[in-house]
Copies of this chain bind each other. A is one copy, B any other.
Amino acid sequence: MAGPTLRDVAKRANVSIRTVSNVVNGYAPVSDELRARVQTVLDELGYRPNLIARNLKQGRTGMIALVVPELDVPYFAELAREIITAARARGYVVMIDQTDGDGDRERELLGRDSRATLFDGLLISPISVTAEELRGRANKVPIVLLGEHIFNGSLPHVAIDNVAAAREATTHLLDLGRRRVAAIGDQPYATGETAQLRTTGYRQALARAGIEVDETLIVSTPHFHRRLGAEAVQRLIALPEPPDAVFCYNDLLALGAIRALTRAGWRVPDDVAVVGIDDIEEGQYSTPSLTTVAPDKGELARRAVDALLETINAAEPSGPPPEIVVPHRLIVRESTAGGQPT
C-alpha cells in the first residue's frame, strides 16, 4: 500500500536519511558520485515524497480552498477555472466546496471541526454568512472574499465596481432609446448587498437620464437562476405598460428572460432589449446572443489568489485589508443590438 520512504531508500543505498532527503530536494551539497548512487535507488524503488509529512514539518500545505455557492452555475465554473489556473501558476492546488447558498454550510466550513486547517487559505464567495461571522470564526485562517458582499472592510475583498457596471448596462439600454427599462434581480435584504449595489447603479443611470424610476419595473429574485429570470419577465410583460428593455443582474437571469420573451412571442431586441452581467460563455451562443457586462475573470482570479497568498505569507497583518476592484467592460451583442453575430 504505502510507498517507499526516505528510510527505505537510505537503508538500501547505505547512506543517511538526511542525505537522501538532500538528494531529493537538491538542498545541501552532495558529491556527484553519491548523488548518482542515491538517485539510482530512488528510481529503483520509485520513491515519492510523502507530502503530508513534508507539510507537517513545514507548516503549510500548498493547498487553498475555494468555496462557492454552486459550482455548476456557469459564472462560478468559469471563475473556478481561472482560480485553479492562477493558483497552479503559483504552486498551489485548489480544493473546491459548495455551500448551495446555505449559511449554515458556510459557517460549518469555518467551524471547529472543519478541514480549514488543511488549507493555507480560503477564497470564499459568501451568500448568507456575514463578515462579522467570518471574522470572528476564522481569525486564524487567511481569507479573501470573492465578488459578493461589500463589507465594512474587515476582510480583503476582490470584485468589480458593481454600481458602475449596473449603471453602464442601464445607460446602454437608455442610449438605445429605451425608456421603460426594467431591472431583474434586486435583493432588498441583509445578504443581498451585491444586488443592492446593482440596483443603485440602475437608479443612477435613470436619474442621469432624467427618467423617474417606476418601482413596479424592479423585480426582486431570491437567487440568480434562469427560471427566475423567466418568471420575472412573465410578470413584467403582463403589466399594463410593459418594459421595452430589461437589465438583468446576471446572465442566467437574462437568458431565462430571453427564453420567456421569445416563447411569449416578443422579439429580442426589437420589442425588448436585454442585458446581463457576467459574460458567461453561453451568452455568446444563445439566440439572440447576449449583451453583457464582462468582469475580467482572469484578473479577478489572479488578484484574489495574490491577495490570499500575501495574507498567508505576511507574518503580521499590515494595514487595512485591501479592497481590490477589477476592471469590467460592456460587450454589446444581439440582445440589444440586433447586429452581427459575435
Q: Which residues of A contact B (CB under 8 A)?
A: 1-3, 46, 48-53, 55-56, 59, 61-63, 70-72, 74, 77-78, 80-81, 84-85, 88, 93-98, 112, 115-118, 140, 226, 230, 255-256, 258-259, 262-263, 281-282, 284-287, 315, 341
Contact = CB atoms under 8 A, between A and B. Distances in A.
A81 B85 contact: no
Contacts of A88: 97
B59 A70 contact: no
Copies of this chain, how many?
2
Given A71-B84, A77-B71, A282-B282, A115 B51 contact: yes
A78 B116 CA distance: 24
A278 B63 CA distance: 31
23 contacts: A1-B140, A46-B140, A48-B116, A48-B140, A51-B117, A52-B55, A52-B118, A55-B118, A56-B56, A62-B115, A63-B95, A72-B78, A72-B281, A77-B77, A80-B96, A84-B96, A94-B96, A226-B284, A259-B285, A262-B287, A263-B287, A286-B287, A287-B287
B93 A81 contact: no
Contacts of A230: 285
Contact of A71 (B62, B81, B117): B81
B115 A93 contact: yes
A297 to B, nearest CB: 10
Contacts of A53: 56
A256 B284 CA distance: 10
Contacts of A46: 140
Contacts of A115: 51, 62, 93
Given A72-B77, A226-B281, A52 B117 contact: yes
Nearest to A78: B72
Given A117-B48, A259-B285, A140 B3 contact: yes
Given A84-B97, A287-B258, A287-B287, A341 B52 contact: no
A265 to B, nearest CB: 12
A43 to B, nearest CB: 9
B287 A259 contact: yes
A81 B72 contact: yes
Contacts of A341: 263
A117 B61 contact: no
A56 B2 CA distance: 12
A271 B239 CA distance: 35
A275 to B, nearest CB: 17
Given A72-B281, A77-B72, A84-B98, A63 B118 contact: yes
Contacts of A59: 2
A285 B52 contact: no
Contacts of A55: 52, 118
